[in-house]
């Protein structure tokens, strides 16, 4: 199992330069780069070639671009803008050696039927799959455990990915999102883990299902999620790729970035090492 850092964990108290420095110092294998804010901020004073050189010269590598948001059930103008953004991500990602682009379903107050959500999602993901093939980049669909997200449970997301039926389209299993809308254990138990590309680890305060928000996340092992069930299941089913720590806790943004990155590693390993061995730099 490899260890990854998602930049949301230091969203307001760091930048890409600092995150890379401290992740390298503390032996992370990968980083998920936020393309909506942290990468553009970096490019104000650096180039993509600078970033390529950094990854070539250091242990840490880029796992994913996070994220292409609201990919499904868009009008034509919105969809074409999304495709333009996606093509740029593919081009930049291929230069950096990014393995995945995380894509996030639409969050909306509008009522859309399950059938329309699935039809749109499958259609779009197949097109994104076709565009990604020449670049060797895979698409990781991240369901969001919130009532207003159009794809908000593991089972719903897994059903969509099964229908897409492309080797380069799979899932992000985020432990918070799995818990937050009451995803069913049996759906994970019956899953083919080759369709799970990335696992996000986090934990949460013990609020009722449907009321949780990202700001309720806490360090792994300090909350209400049955992380042992998730990781024991993944281990038994043969998942052995990467675990990426992702938190959005406002009070953690008050910490020094180095302390946050160190604590993220320590708490993650305390949980996951009960089920996996880690070989960190």
Block residue for tokens 């943004």 = 253
**pLDDT tens digits for 70-120?**
999 999 999 999 999 999 999 999 999 999 999 999 999 999 999 999 999
What is the pLDDT, as a whole number, of residue 279? 62
3-state secondary structure of 231: helix
Which H helix or E strand runs over 104? Answer: strand 100-104
What is the pLDDT, as a whole number, of residue 31? 98
**pLDDT tens digits for 215-229?**
999 999 999 999 999
Domains, the chain: 2-273 (3.20.20.150)
Length in residues, the chain: 281
Whether residue 230 contacts residue 189, with contact meaning beta carbons closer than 8 Å, is answered with no
Give the pLDDT band of residue 278 (cuts 50, 70, 90): confident
What is the pLDDT, as a whole number, of residue 280? 54
Tell me: pLDDT of 6 over 90: yes
Whether residue 218 contacts residue 247, with contact meaning beta carbons closer than 8 Å, is answered with yes
CA count, 13 A, side-chain hemisphere, 214: 11
Whether residue 249 contacts residue 194, with contact meaning beta carbons closer than 8 Å, is answered with no
d(CA 104, CA 106): 7
Whether residue 52 contacts residue 19, with contact meaning beta carbons closer than 8 Å, is answered with no
Which H helix or E strand runs over 61? Answer: strand 61-69
Whether residue 8 contacts residue 34, with contact meaning beta carbons closer than 8 Å, is answered with yes
Start-to-end CA span in the chain (Å): 13
**Whole-model pTM?**
0.97
């Amino acid at each position: 199992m490899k260890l990854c850092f998602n930049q949301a964990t230091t969203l307001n108290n760091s930048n890409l330069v600092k995150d890379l420095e401290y992740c390298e110092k503390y032996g992370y294998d990968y980083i998920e780069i936020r393309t909506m804010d942290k990468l553009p901020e970096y490019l104000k004073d650096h180039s993509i070639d600078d970033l390529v050189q950094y990854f070539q010269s250091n242990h840490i590598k880029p796992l994913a671009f996070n994220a292409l948001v609201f990919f499904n059930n868009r009008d034509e103008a919105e969809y074409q803008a999304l495709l333009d953004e996606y093509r740029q991500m593919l081009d930049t990602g291929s230069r950096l050696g990014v393995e995945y682009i995380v894509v996030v379903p639409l969050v909306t107050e509008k009522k859309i039927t399950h059938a329309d959500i699935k039809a749109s999602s499958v259609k779009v993901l197949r097109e994104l799959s076709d565009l990604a093939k020449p670049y060797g980049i895979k698409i990781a669909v991240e369901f969001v455990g919130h009532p207003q997200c159009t794809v908000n449970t593991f089972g719903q997301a897994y059903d969509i990915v099964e229908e897409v039926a492309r080797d380069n389209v799979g899932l992000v299993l985020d432990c918070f999102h799995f818990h937050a809308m009451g995803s069913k254990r049996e759906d994970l138990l019956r899953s083919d883990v080759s369709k799970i590309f990335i696992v996000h680890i986090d934990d949460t305060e013990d609020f009722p299902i449907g009321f949780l928000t990202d700001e309720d996340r806490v360090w792994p092992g300090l909350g209400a999620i049955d992380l042992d069930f998730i990781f024991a299941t993944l281990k038994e089913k043969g998942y052995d790729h990467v675990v990426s720590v992702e938190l959005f806790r406002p009070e953690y943004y008050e910490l020094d970035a180095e302390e946050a990155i160190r604590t993220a590693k320590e708490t993650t390993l305390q949980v996951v090492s009960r089920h996996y061995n880690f070989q960190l730099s």
